[in-house]
Amino acid sequence: MQVSSYLKLSVLVALATIVLKFGAWWFTSSVGLLSDALESLVNLAGAVFALLMVTIAAAPPDQDHPYGHHKAEYFSSGFEGLLIFAAALAIIWAAGERYLHPQPLQSLGIGLALSIVSSAMNGGLAFAMLRKAREHRSAALEGDARHLFTDVWTSVGVVVALVAVHLTGWLWLDPTIAIAVALNILREGVSLVWGATDGLMDRALEPDVRRTIDDTLRGFAHQTIRFDHIVTRRAGARRFVDMHMHMPAGWTLQRAAALRASVEQALMSAVPGLRATIQLLPMDVEAHFDDQKDLK
């Protein structure tokens, strides 16, 4: 399945879990289950927006975006993080109301059963989505998967708390677990927003990928060939590396271009999704960056 197919499935699962979780809240009147249901609304909105961003990211380069649209996926993670903030505030408000006006829980068995079924659906989908996200390096898919995992643990906590309420009769446990749920998803929201912001700032490639690039270049470097000013960055699923390749000044342009093509092909074979930009320079010419006068 493609990334977009997983996100379409996520939308369908989100719709199903919304029905199940709001049904659980309707039967029990538990604010803890209400908080779980509100998070499922965030799942739906996040999945729809992630699908939109993945579609945009897959669009080919155009005149206004010559480097492609790959960074669109980071907006998905940031948007989902902001939705999580809104859901957490709604949960805290509902929990505060329940502290002021405690209510006994009803039909707890039916509500817990519905919650467990929805959690199993989310857990299975989240596991499959996370594996696919790592395979395709999709920020949007990973953000949606991580949020689904958070939703699963949220549901587990709510179920445990409601069982405790049933056994002890302590009604205050219900709003307390709701606030704990809100704080937990706030933590996940901060993580998603930070990850999206970090990705938009052209973060360098992962250390293991950089080692692969360096190992590949060492296969070409010798007394007459050297590489320097190697810079990497990520943009969604796409990876980029820029560098200078120094060679003897007496080489013909044809010979130099042929070697550069071989280096580019080796790099792209070693690192899937990599785009290499190599500037050719004579061995005795140096290019200097980060000059203070250029930074002003």
Nearest to 122 by CA among 155, 163, 97: 155
SS3 239: strand
Which H/E stretch holds residue 245? strand 238-247
**pLDDT score of 287:** 67
Which of 76-85, 120-129, 247-256 shows the lowest per-residue confidence on average (mean pLDDT)? 76-85
Q: Is 288 left (phi over 0), alpha (psi -120 to 50) or beta?
A: beta
State how far the Cα of 212 lies from the Cα of 188, in Å rounded to an integer: 32
CA 222 to each of CA 37, 226, 227, 265: distance values in angstroms, whole numbers, following the listed order: 62, 7, 10, 18
Instruction: Using alpha carbons only, give the angle 70, 134, 52 rounded to the nearest 5 degrees.
Output: 40
Tell me the DSSP string of 221-237: -BTTBEEEEEEEEEETT
Tell me the DSSP string of 254-272: HHHHHHHHHHHHHHHHHST
Q: Which tokens in the block code for residue 35?
A: 């908080």
- What is the average per-residue pLDDT within 159-165? 77
Whether 243 contacts 228, CB under 8 Å: yes
**pLDDT score of 296:** 45
- What is the average per-residue pLDDT within 160-171? 78
**pLDDT score of 295:** 42
Write the pLDDT tens digit of every residue in 29-50: 777 777 777 777 777 877 787 7
**pLDDT score of 293:** 47
State how far the Cα of 190 lies from the Cα of 171, in Å rounded to an integer: 30
- What is the average per-residue pLDDT within 265-272? 90
- Please tell me the pTM assigned to this model: 0.59
Q: Is 54 left (phi over 0), alpha (psi -120 to 50) or beta?
A: alpha
291 has a pLDDT exceeding 60: no
**pLDDT score of 259:** 93
Q: Which domains does the chain have, with CATH numbers?
A: 3-200 (1.20.1510.10), 207-295 (3.30.70.1350)
State how far the Cα of 150 lies from the Cα of 165, in Å rounded to an integer: 22
Write the pLDDT tens digit of every residue in 183-214: 877 877 787 777 777 767 777 888 888 999 99
- What is the average per-residue pLDDT within 267-293? 79
pLDDT band at 288 (very low <50, low <70, confident <90, very high): low
139 has a pLDDT exceeding 80: no
**pLDDT score of 214:** 93
